[in-house]
Structure 1
Amino acid sequence: MAVLMLTGCNPELLEDGKHLQPISAKLKDEIRKLDSTEQAPLYIRIFKKESVLEAWKQRKDGTYALLKTYPICAYSGEFGPKKREGDRQAPEGFYSITRGQMNPRSSYYLSFNLGYPNKFDRAYGRTGKHLMVHGSCSSRGCYAMEDAPIAEIYALGRESFAGGQRTFEVHAFPFRMTPENMARYRDSEHFAFWQNLKNGYDHFQITRKPPKVEVCNRTYIFDPVGGGHFDATGPCPDYALEPSLLASLKKLRAKENVRFQQAVLELEQQAKEKEIKTADAMVDSQLDLLKRKQRIAEGKNPDGFLAGLINGNPTTPSANAPSAAPAPAPTQAQGQGQASQQQALAQSEINRPQTEQSGSFFSRLRSAVASPFKRSASEPTQPQQTSEPSLLTLPKARQ
């Protein structure tokens, strides 16, 4: 009955046995090479930015090893969590898959339900249903695969349940949670949420075991020791982290915070160089415009002699061409104005070769046009220190 109710992103189709496809001989051989078995527990990680799904199998020593990476054909929305039904946003977070969430009857070939919203999502009042990983490469809030990959992933899950695994974990991330990626997206409205996700990501990176996930104070908590009952919306109980794990987290955090700060500096430098390049291009355009206006004021072809020949309008008039009719004599006021303009143009003509020869962006900027990026007198020349948080903080475990 539970299987019949799970329709994936679409209506049911009659069961045709595709959910019973065996694991291929090649994949079985890869599993054996990991010192694992077909019915050993499964763990899945999803990365939106990289568009991949990783399947991990538990080894005989209890740790997990990467079995295979599958391309995600399509997913809906952008980086960030799903918040409400109809936003067509693929979820991010930590989800558990039971046997009842496996759907052999999805019209999107095969699928399994992520179980959205989980406790964390419900603590924020988030809504949505039937968020799946499925085949047929079409997504409206799901993670869509090609049919062959989803059949293989489905078979891995089926066999892990046959081996006694009660649930397998699916952890969905916006991107690989490296310090460099965290720096790249540090200005996102979701940064604090991703810091929380990274704590769980780091637990797995250190232990090579999917972390035990709890929720309290509307925050994910990973691998807590003790603490009693965890209320998703209530205050966190007293809990601890295993000492060696906590020491490893501190060591990792110290190294990654250095990388994070270095990445931030590099990104800021790239942004400044791009800004200068853009401003430089604007100045070049303004200089060219001033030159053209000056040549027009002098009665010359603004594009020069060769361009005038091509366009049938050379700068130097032909000897046989009739001379232009004399211009009416200017009034005294007009004559003074024209004289002032000619003096200014002459002066700019004198100054321009020097500034262009110097090649200095700012000297050219001052001699030609006011910069739209010019700092005000009160603006500091050194970058201001902001209250932006560091990469992330350690879980607030109580010893």
Structure 2
Amino acid sequence: MSLSLRLPLDGGLETYQLTGTPIAQGTYEPATSRLAFAAAHVVADPLGDNSPGAPAAIDWEHTLAFRQHLWSLGLSVAEAMDTAQRGMGLDWPATKELIRRSAAEAPTRVSGAGGGSGAGGASGARGADGADRASGAEKRIAVGVGTDQLGAGVHPLDAVIAAYEEQLALAEEVGAQPILMASRALCAAASSSDDYRKVYDRLLSQSSRPVILHWLGSMFDPALDGYWGSDSLDTSADVVVDLIAENAAHVDGIKVSLLDASKEIALRKRLPEGIRLYTGDDFNYPELIQGDGEHHSDALLGIFAAIAPAAAAALKALDDGDLTTYEQVFAPTVPLARQIFSGPTYYYKTGIAFLAWLNGHQPGFGMVGGLQTGRSLPHLADTFRLADAAGVLTSPELAVDRFRKLLIVGGVDA
């Protein structure tokens, strides 16, 4: 079949000929120089009622197969995060089942990979108590621990803590590393940074293993504006550093999604020894993961779900000390990532599901909560072009056939 189709462009149509070369497929071992998590999306059941406000109906077969795809590429899975539409279509009952099913299938890895601390890159990250935080084998999955069972509105701090504790108990039950997600309920309830400290001190003291903290900027969720008790990112960073320093034995690292490389680098330099910074910067990840020779970031990224073969190949090159290949593989994925995560940023999930559909990882372009409508056909057309240029359309013939049908349904003569 012809690898061309007519795509929307500037209010008209252009004939677009695919030119990209798909990145070679294969299996990879987990990277040794960095820890790398891909935040995975969920596949909607095409026969379910996934209209806005309805309980999430999930296609479990393809949802779990996508996680196996990520694991086969050497990536670990960050489960039930905002990429999986937490707070945007994925309800708590479905989240519980997702966590249990994914954790049951997660392979194990010998921990200690990742080049040691995110702060300094020293080998063998350790807590403040000197205990090796990376010993033995552990599941290649971390799960989001939040408060979304509370629903909208303002709740007492004790209710916020209880909600977190319920979800933390589930992470403990399934043997997955907890990610203490930024909480809309906590942001609404807290009157100062002291309230955040109260909640996090309580939770960190209860976890049986070091957790990953989570700082999600308001561009990802406007309800999180002023998280950590201040509108100033610098003041918030002070709160975060103090919190981690006083609980270092209970903290593996912090995932930072501010889309501001300078803020991430400044925070990374201030973290106590042995504490990782997991970049969630879907705009600047190549430079942040590579680091500056003294400090680097590990990775916990939604874009890795969309560019998984490229991420695996780039991380392998980094392990091999081949920075030329690392840069060559990652460079064309950055314009794609900036497109997918363009404003309104919280609709990036639509782009993740779109590429999964184009690449044959799910039967239809549907999402829980009807979120497939979050991006326009012109936006998706630009995403398609950039995915081709990045080499992440793994089956170009299938991608062309599927997108052409979507365009026709949308009224475009493709």
Quick check: TM above 0.5?
no
Q: TM-score range by the shorter chain?
A: under 0.3
| Greater share of helix | 2
Structure with bigger RCO (C-alpha 8 Å, 6+ apart): 2
- TM-score with structure 2 length normalisation? 0.23
